[in-house]
Amino acid sequence: MIWLRTALVLGLLGSAVASADAETVVLRGGSLYASPDATALPDAVVVMTDGVISAVGKFGDVQVPADARVIDCSGKTIVAGFWNSHVHFTEPVWRNAGTAPAAPLTQHMQEMLTRWGFTTVWDLGSDPGDSLPLRQRIAKGEIAGPTILFAGNIFPKGGHPVYIPREVQLPEVATPEEATKWARDWLAIGEDGIKLFTGAFMGDKPVVNMDPAIAKAAVEVAHAQGKPVFAHPQNKVGVETVIASDVDVLAHTTPGERAYTDDQLARFKAHGTALIPTLSLFTTVVLDPNVTNRLIAATGNQLKQFSENGGTVLFGTDVGFTQIYDTTQEVELMHRALSERQVLASLTTNPATFFKAAKKGRVETGFDADLVVLDGDPVSDVRNLAKVSATIRAGHVIYQKR
Ligand SMILES: [Zn+2]
């Protein structure tokens, strides 16, 4: 009887694995925006097989496989999976993420990211001992989460930001050689980019800026390996260092400055610099509502200038550092400067293009099956970008509203 039981167990395991792998998921009946500039396709069908979009079209024109798992999307809107290009896996819940039980991690991933439609995120600074194993567990299917990309941080000497606990050891560099070594080491352990603190916030004390020659040394290492470099600019000098050292992405707007100068805008354009506005972050940094209003007006103005200058805007919230998981406020603040379709682009096509993810950002045959089902049309009301009914990554439902 032993062989029979073994055979049964193997048989059950075999079929469970086969159905999980080969599951075909179909979204049926929603209105579809294949990309931010496309007209809406009503009564759409999206077929996903083996993690890839295998067919897209109008109901009746597309064959729905008989064994498919069909998700009824009537009255809803289907768009490509969202990117959050500025997050942190640093909250206490992620400690020992390599070995901690999966359920609470999936639960928190849902609260922080997947219930807001995120299928790809850039972690711009965390403990790789926790976050790299977290990525592996998501890839294995143990934890339902987004695709994670990581940027290793480099700080200027004496520039340990006031908001990072003193006991956390940070890579502070004093010379270009040290920056070169740190950049190489970060990429060697599997990080996907570098983040430089070209300006570090020191509270009551002056901002500590990074020497442009140090920034340049790290950028050269990253660019030689085809990896992007982000920067936390903090002040005008930090922005100038971004431009002088050919950094790719401003990880924040600059709350202390009212506007970018014409000269900065011209050089952003020449360099192809991208901007992550993180506007809702600036609602949390001071208590005085008048000051907050000034910060929001200034950073919103920078976003408007940057976008009108033709720059690439990438959606990002600094969530994990902030506890504002709900993305409603961010999309509303962005919408003061951008159209609904531009905000959607900052979540989808802009990051896919900028980070060279050729099979992401659009709902088209042959693209990755990363999708979001929204309760309402985001082009008629931008707040609908935060009303997520389901999130699908690589053809697997990683969040579904009950
Ligand atoms: Zn951050």
Instruction: Determine the distance separating the centroid of ligand 1 and the alpha carbon of 123, expressed in angstroms.
Output: 8
Instruction: Determine the distance separating the centroid of ligand 1 and the alpha carbon of 51, expressed in angstroms.
Output: 30
Phi, psi of 278 (to 5 degrees): 40, 50
Tens digit of pLDDT for each residue in 131-158?
999 999 999 999 999 999 999 999 999 9
**Distance, CA of 241 to CA of 395 (rounded, Å):** 41
Instruction: Determine the distance separating the centroid of ligand 1 and the alpha carbon of 88, expressed in angstroms.
Output: 6
Q: Which fold has domain 2-80+362-400?
A: Urease, subunit C; domain 1 (2.30.40)
Instruction: Determine the distance separating the centroid of ligand 1 and the alpha carbon of 165, expressed in angstroms.
Output: 14
> Pick from 181, 232, 179, 175: which is nearest to 208 by CA?
232
Neighbours of 310 (CB within 10 A): 10
Tens digit of pLDDT for each residue in 313-368?
999 999 999 999 999 999 999 999 999 999 999 999 999 999 999 999 999 999 99
**Distance, CA of 75 to CA of 72 (rounded, Å):** 9
Instruction: Determine the distance separating the centroid of ligand 1 and the alpha carbon of 283, expressed in angstroms.
Output: 15
Q: Is the dihedral of CA 359, 362, 363, 369 positive or negative?
A: positive
Q: Which fold has domain 82-354?
A: TIM Barrel (3.20.20)
Instruction: Determine the distance separating the centroid of ligand 1 and the alpha carbon of 316, expressed in angstroms.
Output: 9
Q: Does the pLDDT value for residue 13 go beyond 50? A: no
Instruction: Determine the distance separating the centroid of ligand 1 and the alpha carbon of 43, expressed in angstroms.
Output: 40
Instruction: Determine the distance separating the centroid of ligand 1 and the alpha carbon of 23, expressed in angstroms.
Output: 37
Instruction: Determine the distance separating the centroid of ligand 1 and the alpha carbon of 125, expressed in angstroms.
Output: 7
Strand, coil or helix: 230: strand
Partner residues linked to 58 by β-bridges: 44
Instruction: Determine the distance separating the centroid of ligand 1 and the alpha carbon of 170, expressed in angstroms.
Output: 14
Strand, coil or helix: 237: helix
Q: What's the mean pLDDT when you consider all of the chain?
A: 93
Partner residues linked to 400 by β-bridges: 390
Domain limits, the chain: 2-80+362-400, 82-354
Please give the average per-residue pLDDT across 59-85, as a whole number.
95
Q: Does the pLDDT value for residue 19 go beyond 80? A: no
* Predicted pLDDT of residue 338: 98
Q: What angle do CA 372, 305, 313 make, to 5 degrees?
A: 25
**Distance, CA of 177 to CA of 175 (rounded, Å):** 5
Residue 18: which residues within 8 A CB-CB, separation 6 or more? Answer: none
Instruction: Determine the distance separating the centroid of ligand 1 and the alpha carbon of 365, expressed in angstroms.
Output: 34
Whether residue 389 contacts residue 375, with contact meaning beta carbons closer than 8 Å, is answered with: yes
Instruction: Determine the distance separating the centroid of ligand 1 and the alpha carbon of 246, expressed in angstroms.
Output: 20
Beta strands in 197-240 (DSSP E): 199-200, 208-209, 229-231
